[in-house]
Amino acid sequence: MDEDLAEQKFGAWETSFRCAAEADEHVAFAEHLHRFNLSIDPRELVRGTIDFVAASAAFEALDGNPGSILLDLQTYDPTASAGATYAVTFDVAGHSAARVLTAADLEGLDFADLYGMPWNRQRVVGYSGFFVSRIDGAEMSVPELEALEEKVTSDLRFDHSEDEISFWFDPDSYPGAVWVAVYDVVEGDD
């Protein structure tokens, strides 16, 4: 897919996504934020989602995938997304949030690159953590949680050593979701 076509595709998706959120008066996003106790305006969740999807598409293009695997999964109503299994909801240091839909293999979502991404609008870099929840609302099985932990750990450790960042998984605090806290290692921390 050439660059102009990719931009047109992204632009059409963004317009459709914004229109769906406005038609719903952002109610579904407000409920989603409330589920995870995120005190973010639902309109900011729309903007943050667009930012994260744009960054993810750019990372995919840099990795040699000119089309966006992730873009094709993004819908305002997650149940309308063909092929999406999870909603990954990023907390951008309490300033913003993003909800990105992914397939079961989390393909197209680069946790390490997004952690290092500067978000100029919010004047922060990266995110403080993220929730992974099933779109169908089902509880995650132990093998499913283990597979998610393995995938996220592999992604983060590919770019960052234990001396640079740390993270932990909390599958118990939010029903039907796992919280992953990610943070920089500060010299002298134990």
> Cα–chain-centroid distance for residue 16?
19
Q: How confident is the model at residue 187 (pLDDT cuts 50, 70, 90)?
A: confident
Residue 109 Cα distances to 30, 122, 185, angstroms: 23, 21, 23
Question: What is the C-alpha to C-alpha distance for residues 148 and 50, in angstroms, rounded to an integer?
Answer: 24
Residues β-bridged to residue 165: 184
Q: Has residue 106 been placed in a domain?
A: yes
Question: What is the C-alpha to C-alpha distance for residues 124 and 149, in angstroms, rounded to an integer?
Answer: 25
Q: Has residue 190 been placed in a domain?
A: no
Domain count, the chain: 1
Q: Has residue 42 been placed in a domain?
A: yes
SS3 119: strand
Q: How confident is the model at residue 188 (pLDDT cuts 50, 70, 90)?
A: low
At residue 133, the pLDDT reads: 96
Q: Has residue 164 been placed in a domain?
A: yes
Domain extent at residue 94: 3-184
Q: Has residue 100 been placed in a domain?
A: yes
Q: Give the residue with greater pLDDT, 154 vs 82.
A: 154
pLDDT tens, position by position, 130-152:
999 999 989 999 999 999 999 99
